[in-house]
Amino acid sequence: MKPPYTVTPKIIDLISLISEKLGRINSIHLNRPPTELRKRNRIRTIQSSLEIEGNTLTEGQITSLMENKRVVGPQKDIIEVQNAIKVYSSITTFKYTLQKSLLKAHKTLMDRLLDDPGTYRTGSVGIVKGSKITHVAPPNHLVPQLMTDLFEYLTRDPDILLLKSCVFHYEMEFIHPFQDGNGRMGRLWQTLILMKLNPVFEFLPIEYLIKERQEQYYLSLQKSDKNGSSTVFIEFMLEIIRDSLDELLSTQNRTLKTEDRINLFKSEIGFEEFTRKDYLRKFKEISAPTASRDLKKAIELNLIEKTGDKNTSKYRFIS
């Protein structure tokens, strides 16, 4: 059965705005942000998603762990960060339509934190805020079928991916399929779904904006529970996505470096043969000598191979 929600005028408006912003991002080559921005946003993503769950480590400490430096802090918090670094570093290896990928990601994310990471819960679970129970999840014996139905919706329903990502996130929180780690897995999987729509979502700090509006995040979940529909949550998450794209667009005056241009071009052309003119057509803002320097640098780094000479030169990525 299709998860219940209503496409409101607000949702339509937000989808339109998001589509327009993605078009702008593609046109100015921000669909693969500069290296320093990608690293910064990855750190913000990990810190924010874990802080929502009570982790105390700072962005500086997480940066140190990413650089394999020693950090002083609660052992549980350190393990959570180490696990999250592994998951987000390998996010492109997960398939958003496969349950086994979800279970594999959970196993990595909750390694050394649970006795049986990567498996659905076998007991009852509820969410408590303060002294109140705010949500009682479905009985554990229903979880496998509910998750199968949810993945069926994800793979077969004609809804656009933007909507599906929000619906999946909400339904995952409602089902609460794992003993622990449901919140961070819901946020991770929405990012993975959005990456299929546009690769830029791998490096957007969506979790950071959720953390900044944490009270609204939980309130939208509660309202959707009460309404028996994910509509309110979809509206909230689309606003978050819109604002994360606005934040990225605010960096549009940053100049792409050689490494950024090479990586961006590779992500689009793959391993097909190309010429310097093809490279210049992609980056109209650079000169021919700059394009030549970029390609020479890529050759030195053993990223591309060159055949021919001068006007007959052709290139191909080899790694």
At 268-301, the pLDDT tens digits run 888 999 999 999 988 887 888 899 999 999 999 9
What tokens appear for 276 in the block?
């310097």
- Domain at 258-317: CATH architecture: Orthogonal Bundle (1.10)
Q: Give the confidence band of 255 by pLDDT, cuts at 50, 70, 90.
A: low
How far apart CA 51 and CA 29 sit, in angstroms, is 31
- Domain at 9-249: CATH architecture: Orthogonal Bundle (1.10)
Q: Which of 102-116, 137-151, 246-260 has the lowest mean pLDDT?
A: 246-260
All structural domains of the chain with their residue ranges: 9-249, 258-317
Q: Report which DSSP code applies to 54.
A: T
Which burial class, exposed, middle or buried, applies to 58 when counting CB atoms under 10 A from its CB (0-12, 13-18, 19+)? middle
Other beta carbons within 10 angstroms of residue 99's beta carbon come to: 16
At 87-140, the pLDDT tens digits run 999 999 999 999 999 999 999 999 999 999 999 999 988 777 766 777 889 999
**Residue 120: predicted pLDDT:** 98
At 159-201, the pLDDT tens digits run 999 999 999 999 999 999 999 999 999 999 999 999 999 999 9
- Cα–Cα nearest to 183, from 131, 135, 130: 135
First and final C-alpha spacing in the chain: 44
